Structure formats: C-alpha cells, structure tokens
Structure 1
Amino acid sequence: MTPVLDQVFAALADPTRRAILSMLLEDDMAVTDVAEPFEMSLAAISKHLGVLTAAGLISQEKRGRVKWCKLEPDALRGASVWMQSFGQFEAVNLDAFEKFLAVELSDDS
C-alpha cells in the first residue's frame, strides 16, 4: 500500500473520525458544530480533524472567524479501489449470517 492509502486507513480506524466523516456527509460544518456531539475537548476534536485533513479526507478553511470542515469524498477513491480488488470474494449476506448465528447460538443453549 502507498503512504497515502496508509494514512486514509489509519484515519478511518478511529470511530470518532468515522463519525465526523458521517456528519460531514450532510454539509460543511464549523469546527465547534463538529465537536458538539462528542464528550471531549475542542483540542481533542481538533487533533482528530488534523488526522482527517492530513489523510486528505477533509479540508478546513477559515470563513471569517470560523473554521469550517468540508468532506473530500475523492480521497476515499484509492481506498475504495484497493478494497474492490478483493471483489472476487462473494459479498456476505448479513441478514442470512445473523439468522445463522441466531440458530447456532440457540442450539448451544
């Protein structure tokens, strides 16, 4: 894998950063609005945003006195292409897998 792809996957490895990306799917957000739903300091959120920015997953710009975050969806293209290379494997039917587990776990009881 390339260093850029490594950065993307490292950024995606954290659930807080994935949640931030999901929030940014809707629209650009001010840093303070991004931080609002999380129980952590603004400095901690800023570190997460720095990781996402370094990976190219978001961009940040100052508009007046407010710093805004914007999703950069093209940054996921390399990761998507890499993951699709495993496409020869059949996709997992999660509903069927859930039913299978329910049956297996109930048999063990």
Structure 2
Amino acid sequence: MFVAWIALAVAIASEIVATLSLKAAGGGSVGAVALVVIGYVASFALMLVVLRRIEVSVAYAIWAGAGTAAIAVIGVAFLGEQADVLKFASIALVIAGVVGLNLGGAH
C-alpha cells in the first residue's frame, strides 16, 4: 500500500510539471512539449499502479484536488496570478473535499 501512495505522489508531481509546461508548449517550445507529453503519460501510467491498491474515488480525488490546489498556489506564488479571498477559499474547499472523500473511503 505504501508503494501506491508514493506512486500517487509522483503522479501528482508529474501532472503538475506537465500542466506548468503547457503555456510554454503553446508558445512552440519543443522542450516544453516534451515535458507536457512525458509528464501526462507518466502521471496516467502511475495512476494505473495506484488504482490497484487505492479506490478510484479516493485516488482520483487526491490526484485531481492536489494538482488543482498546487497549480493555483504556484500560480499565485510564482507566476504573478491574482490572489484574493475567493481563490484561497476555493482552494480550501478543494482540500476539504479531498479530505472528506479520503475519510469516507477509508473503510
């Protein structure tokens, strides 16, 4: 089970790298296109490993929620995106939803 959680963490990290590379890839950067493709392929391949041990509702919620929250925080912290109360409240709701699904799936 520990390996599944490590694989999930790496899948999330791969998805974050791929998502952060999208803008540069759209600008024509070949290296960024490679990061997008490799990152998403790695993320989905790792999710195949994860789903052997962790319920899909829990794994997908953590994968999508953590990725979404991380991208939002990175956007504000490093990419100059606007930060406001609504954005941070929404991130908190995403995290709360993931925690709730995780607790509900922990039978």
Per the TM superposition, whether the score is higher than 0.5 is no
TM-score normalised by structure 1 residue count: 0.31
Bigger share in helix: 2
Larger radius of gyration: 1
User: Greater share of strand residues, 1 or 2?
Assistant: 1
Which structure's relative contact order is higher, taking Cα pairs within 8 Å and 6+ residues apart?
A: 2
The alignment's TM-score, normalised by the length of structure 2, stands at: 0.32
